[in-house]
């Protein structure tokens, strides 16, 4: 329960709410179809990618900049954050996503609002394919995040936030044609709530969560294993660590926050 009493914990939770709200606002705003104009995949992909990179750079040092329940779940699977923190992060992300979509809904003309929920799989016969696409899109995103934020890497150059943004862009360049490129349950959940369209919505939870879990296991146990015992992993999951010293801001060695500053 030390996290519940920590100011930095609540800052991190709010950062996830704040960043996810703006991510959804800008991303879904770019994906709206106005009139009879065809979907511009490049425009949408780069808006989602740049939004992710910008917001991760803004809050990465505060919360890790997950912005995505699948990413949070991946770090939980990898025993790099506590279950308690993961639950609060996911709740903040969902609320932030709904808030961002609600603001966008409010400033969008009535005739265009229905386009908020474009990422809906309506054909039951392609559900298996759609789920597979979501698994692969999220898997490459999570592996990228794990790799570029790994504090054990030597010779790191460039921006981790920008690399993650390009990963989001890559997923959208392919995924828009298949599923609308969910890759993020919060980003899919928000418009579904506002438009009240949950047709086959489970695809946008099952696919990304499986992809995130596979990505975490693949990186942490095969590509670049973390040599930690079961007791240490369980301690992280339970949040069993001493409280922070009052006034101390040094987070070195903290296993539950991602480091996404310029590397």
DSSP per residue over 109-161, as a string? Answer: -HHHHGGGG------GGGHHHHHHHHHHHHHHHHHHHHHHT-TT-SS--SBHH
Classify burial at 118, counting beta carbons within 10 Å of its beta carbon; exposed 0-12, middle 13-18, buried 19 or more: middle
Q: Write out the chain's pLDDT in tens, 263 residues.
A: 677 778 999 999 999 999 999 999 999 999 888 877 777 899 999 999 999 999 999 999 999 999 999 999 999 999 999 999 999 999 999 999 999 999 999 998 888 876 676 555 555 557 889 999 999 999 999 999 999 999 888 766 789 999 999 999 999 999 998 888 999 999 999 999 988 888 889 999 999 999 999 999 999 999 998 887 788 888 888 877 543 433 334 443 344 444 443 33
- Is the distance from CB of 96 to CB of 19 less than 8 angstroms? yes
What are the CA-CA distances from residue 47 to residues 27, 195, 209, 236 (Å)? 6, 22, 23, 35
Domains (range + CATH), the chain: 7-238 (1.20.1080.10)
CA dist list (Å): 258 to 7, 26, 134, 142, 252: 18, 23, 23, 12, 11
Q: How distant, in Å, are the alpha carbons of 3, 21, 193, 202 from that of 119? A: 36, 18, 13, 12
Q: What is the pTM of this model?
A: 0.86
Are the C-beta atoms of residues 3 and 9 closer than 8 Å to each other? yes
Q: Which of 219, 47, 46, 233 is nearest to 149 (CA)?
A: 219
């Amino acid at each position: 329960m030390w996290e519940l009493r920590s100011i930095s914990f609540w800052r991190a939770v709010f950062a996830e709410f704040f960043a996810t709200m703006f991510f959804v606002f800008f991303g879904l705003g770019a994906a709206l179809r106005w009139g009879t104009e065809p979907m511009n995949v490049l425009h949408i992909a780069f808006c989602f990618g740049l939004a992710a990179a910008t917001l991760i750079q803004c809050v990465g040092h505060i919360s890790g900049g997950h912005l995505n329940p699948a990413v949070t779940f991946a770090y939980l699977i990898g025993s790099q954050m506590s279950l308690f923190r993961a639950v609060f992060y996911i709740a903040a992300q969902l609320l932030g996503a709904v808030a961002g979509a609600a603001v966008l809904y409010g400033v969008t003309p009535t005739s265009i609002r229905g386009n908020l929920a474009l990422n809906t799989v309506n054909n039951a016969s392609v559900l298996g394919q759609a789920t597979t696409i979501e698994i692969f899109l999220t898997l490459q995103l999570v592996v990228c995040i794990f790799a570029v934020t790994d504090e054990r890497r030597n010779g790191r150059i460039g921006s981790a936030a920008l690399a993650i943004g390009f990963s989001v862009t890559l997923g959208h360049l392919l995924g828009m044609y298949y599923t609308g490129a969910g890759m993020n349950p919060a980003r899919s959940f928000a418009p579904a709530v506002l438009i009240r369209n949950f047709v086959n919505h489970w695809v946008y939870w099952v696919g990304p969560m499986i992809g995130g879990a596979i990505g975490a296991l693949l990186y942490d146990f095969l590509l670049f294993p973390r040599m930690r015992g079961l007791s240490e992993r369980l301690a992280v999951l339970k949040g069993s660590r001493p409280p922070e010293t009052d006034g101390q801001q040094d987070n070195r060695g903290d296993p539950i926050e991602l480091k996404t500053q310029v590397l």
